[in-house]
Amino acid sequence: MIKIGLTGSIGMGKSTSAKLFAEAGIPVNDSDAVVHDLYSGEAVALVEAAFPGSTRDGVVDRQELGRKLATDPSGFKRLEVIVHPLVRERERSFLGTQRQAGADMVVLDIPLLFETGGDKRVDKIVVVSCDPQIQRQRVLARPGMTEQKFEMILSRQTPDAEKRARADYIIDTGGSIDAAREQVKEIIADLRRQPKADEPESGEP
């Protein structure tokens, strides 16, 4: 089973590309969706303990947590120590389920793939990219987004040029959705043409 790591900087169209893989029948594990789920489940008490006042009615208040992180960027490390192991646990469960189901490939949608060492857990890397001006327009059009917040997010992400240099495939989302869909189909077809490596008999999936 080929493990595809899908990543891209904010506003590049990664979520849309993930949906296109799913549309083509490839199982997708969305790390952002997992975190959303954890923020109303296993992570709540841990986040509240590390960031008092960041939860409300039994769920993590993402806006309040974001405000705390904006005033104390060192908190990102504390948050990662809490969240990343839980996300990895869900990822392992997803991989086990898909392997048992006989999937020939899966997508691990990981926003901070390179930043968290996730690139070492996948077989192929797909980077979603577009012109920086298109990226900026998309991000600043989001509700509550500011130039300062955008720059803070970018500062925590591996530069797009470096991501592209380390990619096995690049999806350019600067055009139409149909153009992106064709690129996804071509990637899937190319991977299916490649010789299949033997699955490891043991160890982490």
pLDDT in tens, 98-137: 999 999 999 999 988 998 889 999 999 999 999 999 999 9
pLDDT in tens, 16-50: 999 999 999 999 999 889 999 999 999 999 999 99
Per-residue pLDDT at 197: 57
User: Phi/psi class of residue 167: alpha, beta or left (left: φ > 0; alpha: ψ in -120 to 50)?
Assistant: beta
pLDDT in tens, 77-87: 899 899 999 99
Domain 1-27+104-196: give its CATH superfamily.
P-loop containing nucleotide triphosphate hydrolases (3.40.50.300)
What are the extents of the domains in the chain?
A: 1-27+104-196, 33-102
H runs (alpha helix) in the chain:
14-23, 31-38, 44-50, 62-71, 75-100, 132-140, 147-155, 160-165, 177-193
Mean of per-residue pLDDT scores for the chain: 91
Distance CA(72)–CA(1), nearest Å, equals: 41
